[in-house]
Amino acid sequence: CLQVATNVTEQKHNVSREVRGQNLGLCRGFRGCTVWLTGLSGAGKTSIAFELEAYLVSKGIPAYGLDGDNIRTGLNKNLGFSQVDREENIRRVAEVAKLFADSGVVSICSFVSPFAEDREMARKIHKDADLKFFEIYIDTPLEVCETRDTKGLYKKARQGVIQGFTGVTQAYEAPDTPDLRVSTEGVTVRESTLKLIRLLEDEAIIPKFIKEDEPLPELYVSESLKAALEAESKTLPALSIAEVELQWLQILAEGWASPLKGFMREQEYLQALHFNCLLNEDETLRVNQSVPIVLSATESDKQRLEGVSALALHYNGRVVAVLRKPEFYFQRKEERCARQFGTTNRDHPYIKMIYESGDYLVGGEIEVLERIQWHDGLDAYRLTPNELRQKFREMKADAVFAFQLRNPIHNGHALLMSDCRRQLLERGFKNPVLLLHPLGGWTKDDDVPLPVRMAQHQAVLDSGVLDREHTVLAIFPSPMMYAGPTEVQWHAKARMNAGANHYIVGRDPAGMPHPDKALY
């Protein structure tokens, strides 16, 4: 008979859940819980569980998927499918999930778990440990599950080869009051997973993130308030901005740098410069932002404008935006260049611009009067993140891979892009779409001009070198900084805001020859 240990005493950890939450993952705060997916074989439990796991990990939230088949190849390989063994299977998994959750991990369990009593036992194990437990019923009709029977299990069960198979010869006790009911019939895995994500957000397990089907916040004033803002701008003191700063204004206004709401204040600037990220207001969430997006001002500008509640930003004598509650702070140029570029050599073209700019920076939230146009015959290619997201939805893309370039496409580039699509198809994606996204802001004098590059890119598409049916050619309006891998993070983050989830990085990304040619 089974001998049960009686001389066992629970040992308390030295590390509390609060301390784990402050130090585990990119999102501070304890988020440990168990998400329990139950449903028939073929309902979609594992697909949704692993999609949720990938989403959470991509946001810096520790998560792990415990799958029924995987568990039975290791921890529970000595168990069969009798009612007693099924109960023990669920008990063991619930105990393991509890340990994961207690460590601060979102534990995602995908098990048929056909008996209500067993699922209630799993819930009680978590309740006794003061851990949150969410029962998710993946409610897919039996006939739909049978059409997804890639393992041939239903067929074998109906032939009598497999006994006690849930849904055929073994009853499934559907949850009466699950925390969430998800139907997978006629919807994608992503759409089903989104329901679980929203549940975790509503339960304050994870922060609220912008979803694929939600628009990014833009910083353009609404049409109904535009006249009032124009009138107000005429009464405000003015600060003139240069062309590169207008390009950064466009970046901010269109949402490429979201969640930034304007030119960086000093705290945001220091976070980006030294830690390549931004913290939200309660400092629980870190968002990648590897380069400062700032507006320079001179000593005389500071003396003239410090203390005003708002100022109007002018470009070529025309008001383009209003900046609220301006904050002036000293620009430590050597520190900025050393941190961002790894050099302070003034022959570097962007570093040269920094040293020639004002000695102060001014930050604040912005309201932009209207969409920024350049009237160079290429504005049709300048799609905003929201427009790109919509285009990808219309193309029914299930993966978007972006390629950043500031030079004409050559054979190596084409091979990278074609091979990336091949790899995505091999991974199981059905319709991966390429975002061919040349940089369209300021570049150094000896780079190929944007109109020439765009003509060449279009010719490459027209010639069939790249699959034009699965490619979107658009312009990324950011200036080029030539800051190497630090800048590459910015390039990738901006494309993620536009809906991309894969990014191709070349051999020398955002690089250039060392400006001191005598030494290097």
In the DSSP assignment, the letter for residue 215 is P
CB-based contacts of 78, cutoff 8 Å, min separation 6: none
How many Cα atoms sit within 13 Å of 355 on the Cβ side?
Answer: 13
* Amino acid symbol at 484: G
Q: Hey, is 309 helix, strand or coil?
A: coil
CB-based contacts of 445, cutoff 8 Å, min separation 6: 349
Q: How many other C-beta atoms are found inside a 10 Å radius of the C-beta of residue 315? A: 16
Q: Hey, is 8 helix, strand or coil?
A: coil
CA-to-CA distance for 347 and 352, rounded, in angstroms? Answer: 6
How many Cα atoms sit within 13 Å of 416 on the Cβ side?
Answer: 18
Helix (H) or strand (E) holding 364: strand 360-368
Q: Hey, is 132 helix, strand or coil?
A: strand
262-263 and 360-368 beta bridge pairing:
antiparallel
Q: What are residue 480's phi and psi, to 5 degrees?
A: -95, 135
Sign of the dihedral through C-alpha 416, 420, 426, 430: negative
CA-to-CA distance for 322 and 314, rounded, in angstroms? Answer: 9
CB-based contacts of 268, cutoff 8 Å, min separation 6: 260, 278, 289, 363
10 Å CB burial of residue 515 (0-12, 13-18, 19+) is middle
One DSSP character per residue, 461-520 reads HHHTSS-GGGEEE--B-PPP---THHHHHHHHHHHHHTT--EEE--SSTT----S-TTT-
Return the bridge partners of 72, or none.
Answer: none
Rg (the chain; Cα; Å)? 28
One DSSP character per residue, 136-159 reads EEE---HHHHHHT-TT-HHHHHHT
Please give the positions annotated as active site: 113
